Amino acid sequence: MALRMKSNRLVSGLNRAIRTNGLADARPKRTLVRVYVCDWSITSGAVGEFAERLPDDGEARWRVSWLPGRLLTRDQAIAAMEMVELLYDTTRPTDEDLRAAIAAAAELLGIRPIDAAATLSERHPGR
């Protein structure tokens, strides 16, 4: 059984814009990352991290590859994947907007940005 991707999303800060026919929403974006979101999975364009929805009868829960043992909401899973993109995109200048986007994602996850960076650097040495 193949899963169909409902939408290809570009995530900006924590402001999401749906991408249509390869053209992003015309609203200005502070930080643009590629996180691919569908009903059952979220993947990163930067590294091999992912989130997957767990089947259940109640509220949807998500598991994120770099946060083992934690069950997250869909918004938290998107924030976790967005953080991966923000931390690993070397083409983006380090500025206040980037730090603010990382801090917002970390706050939604209930973790410190430095702890997220340390966990990801352990998983991807040399990056």
What string of pLDDT tens digits covers the 127 residues of the chain?
A: 333 334 444 444 443 333 333 334 433 344 456 788 998 999 987 788 999 999 876 777 999 999 999 999 999 999 999 998 888 877 777 788 888 999 999 999 999 999 999 998 888 887 6
Nearest to 50 by CA among 31, 59, 37, 32: 37
Q: What angle do CA 47, 6, 19 make, to 5 degrees?
A: 70
Handedness of CA 68, 87, 47, 117 (dihedral sign): negative
Q: How far apart (Å, rounded) are the C-alpha atoms in residues 67 and 59?
A: 19
Q: What are phi and psi of 91, to 5 degrees?
A: -85, -15
Q: Find where tokens 């009868």 sit.
A: 57
What is the per-residue pLDDT for 93?
72
The residue type of 13 is G
Q: Look at residue 6 in the predicted model and tell me its pLDDT.
A: 42
Contacts of 37 (CB under 8 A, 6+ apart): 7, 8, 9, 11, 78
* Residue 32: predicted pLDDT: 53
Residue length, the chain?
127
Q: Taking the CA atoms of the chain, what radius of gyration do you get in angstroms?
A: 14
